[in-house]
Amino acid sequence: MIELSPELIAGLMLGGVFIGVLTGYPLAIVIGFLGLIFGFLRFGFNVGEVLYPRAVSGVLMNYPLLAAPLFIFMGLMLERSGIAERLYDALYIWLGGLRGGLAIVTVLIGTIMAACVGIIAASITMLAVVALPSMIKRGYDRSLASGSICAGGTLGILIPPSIMLVLYGPMASLSVGRLFFGAFIPGFILSGLYISYIAIRSLLQPDIAPPVPLEQRRVSFLKKSWMLATSLLPAAFLVLSVLGTIFFGIAPPTEAASIGGLASVILVIAYRRFNWRVLYEVSLETLRLTGFIILIVSMAFAFVGVFIGAGGDKVVTEVILSTPGGRWGAFAVIMFICFILGMFIDWIGIVFIMVPIITPIGYALEFDPIWFAIMVCVNLQMSFMTPPFAMAIFIVRGAAPKEAGLTMAEVIKGVIPFVILIMVGIMLCAFFPELVLWLPGQMIR
């Protein structure tokens, strides 16, 4: 055992995360290695007494975390139902005649699917496959088209049922149900900001988003109304089956997630897409993603256990609380740190490393814990669109058809305005905290 100051341990461990991630090694390996090495240096052979209890109580015995694989299963199963394609066909006819209409449709579908799927890779891939070829074929600016897909597809990480909120709640000892309903209005605000930006820019620059010709959307009012209703009702059924049971106090999020999984299977059967191969593939992918999450969670608990046990959390708290500007200055520093981390680290790592450290700071600053948590989650929305670690950008670029000729520079150019709009959304929620806190206050407990 070596006597190391808390300041030195905090600097070396946090710096080691940055360096390790930049080397290209998976985050779980990096933080697990750092936790083991510094745990041995600080606690000697007693390091197991620090790591084991946290791993057992934090991961294996954490009941709310059971909702994560259930929501993953629900999202993956729903992806196979074809709901997104039906929604696009219906909204294409209704809004395609507007300038920027197809990009607006893309964001709307992203918003609706966010309340059903909650898996970013699945949502963005669906939108890229369904919407991108159509927009490019009709003369849309490729940056605007790809940017709208990235922005709309990433709403699923915020709008419930969000996997991020499922994982955030246990880490901050907060109700996942209250986090769900705290995220609703901010998520819809972001969606509204995206749509407003697309509409205004399309009016100012008509050539970048031309309307779809009338002959390509000539459908009777009755038929297009039927198409819209039949595509929206299944999504509404799924949202009500999950979030309705939570809001009205019928079941907590873990049990509601199982109801959602059953509802998604029923929808796939109703759309005649269900077979044993689909069930096998969805179950296998659920197992793979859950294993990935559990690995990062376990390693993060080990890392944070050593970090807190060595006094690193107190060092970070003192540094942040000593920043000029009072409580809002400290809050701005936390937001900035999360923003920078989002450029280099996956959101899962940020949640499990940073939340145990910054949550006590939020209490010390006397912020409402639900509001504080949602502000961090809205901030992490940007992590999907800020290079170099920008999952949405890489997914859109990879899913785009080769004939589209979409370049990485065009995608990055397209997401910049939407990143700025997320910052606007953060400021709105900061100035008007009831946007976050009103809906959780209406829940039936």
* Structure tokens that stand for 99 in this block: 């300038």
d(CA 57, CA 370): 23
Tell me the mean pLDDT in the region 418-442. Answer: 94
Give the helix, strand, coil percentages of the chain, each rounded to 5.
80, 0, 20
d(CA 108, CA 94): 12
User: Three-state SS string across 97-163, please?
Assistant: CCCCHHHHHHHHHHHHHHCCCCCHHHHHHHHHHHCHHHHHHCCCCHHHHHHHHHHHHHHHHCCCCCH
Buried b (16+ CB within 10 A) or exposed e, 12-49: bbbebbeebbeeeebbbebbbbbbbebbbbbbeeebee
Q: Would you state the pLDDT for residue 323?
A: 87
For the chain, give the mean pLDDT. 85
Residue 232 clears pLDDT 90, i.e. is over it: no
* Structure tokens that stand for 297 in this block: 């969670």
Residue 16 clears pLDDT 90, i.e. is over it: no
Contacts of 26 by beta carbon, 8 Å cutoff, 6+ apart = none
Contacts of 306 by beta carbon, 8 Å cutoff, 6+ apart = 13, 35, 38, 39, 42, 43, 47, 50, 51
* Structure tokens that stand for 24 in this block: 């290209």
d(CA 435, CA 380): 18
Tell me the mean pLDDT in the region 66-92. Answer: 82
Provide the H-helix boundaries in 365-407. Answer: 369-380, 391-399
End-to-end, the C-alpha distance of the chain in Å comes to: 49
d(CA 358, CA 379): 14
Q: Longest Cα pair distance anywhere in the chain, in angstroms?
A: 78
Burial (CB count within 10 angstroms: exposed 0-12, middle 13-18, buried 19+), residue 5: exposed
Tell me the mean pLDDT in the region 173-195. Answer: 93
Burial (CB count within 10 angstroms: exposed 0-12, middle 13-18, buried 19+), residue 399: middle
Tell me the mean pLDDT in the region 226-233. Answer: 83
What count of other Cβ atoms lies within 10 Å of the Cβ of residue 327?
Answer: 15
Tell me the mean pLDDT in the region 334-345. Answer: 91
Q: Would you state the pLDDT for residue 52?
A: 60
Q: Would you state the pLDDT for residue 70?
A: 86
Residue 445 clears pLDDT 60, i.e. is over it: no
Tell me the mean pLDDT in the region 371-379. Answer: 96
Backbone φ and ψ for 368, nearest 5 degrees, come out as -60, 130
DSSP letter, residue 381 = G
CA-to-CA separations, 173 to 168, 170, 360, in angstroms, rounded: 8, 5, 11
Contact (CB, 8 A) for 126 and 108? no
Residue 26 clears pLDDT 90, i.e. is over it: no
What count of other Cβ atoms lies within 10 Å of the Cβ of residue 249?
Answer: 11
- What band does 216 get if pLDDT is binned at 50, 70 and 90? low
d(CA 197, CA 201): 6
Q: Would you state the pLDDT for residue 147?
A: 94
Tell me the mean pLDDT in the region 48-63. Answer: 63
- What band does 204 get if pLDDT is binned at 50, 70 and 90? very high
- What band does 261 get if pLDDT is binned at 50, 70 and 90? confident
Tell me the mean pLDDT in the region 382-404. Answer: 84
Please tell me the number of Cα atoms within 13 Å of 434 on its side-chain side: 1
d(CA 346, CA 242): 27
Residue found under tokens 């606007």: 424
Residue found under tokens 């990062």: 296
Q: Would you state the pLDDT for residue 387?
A: 85
For the chain, the domains span 6-441
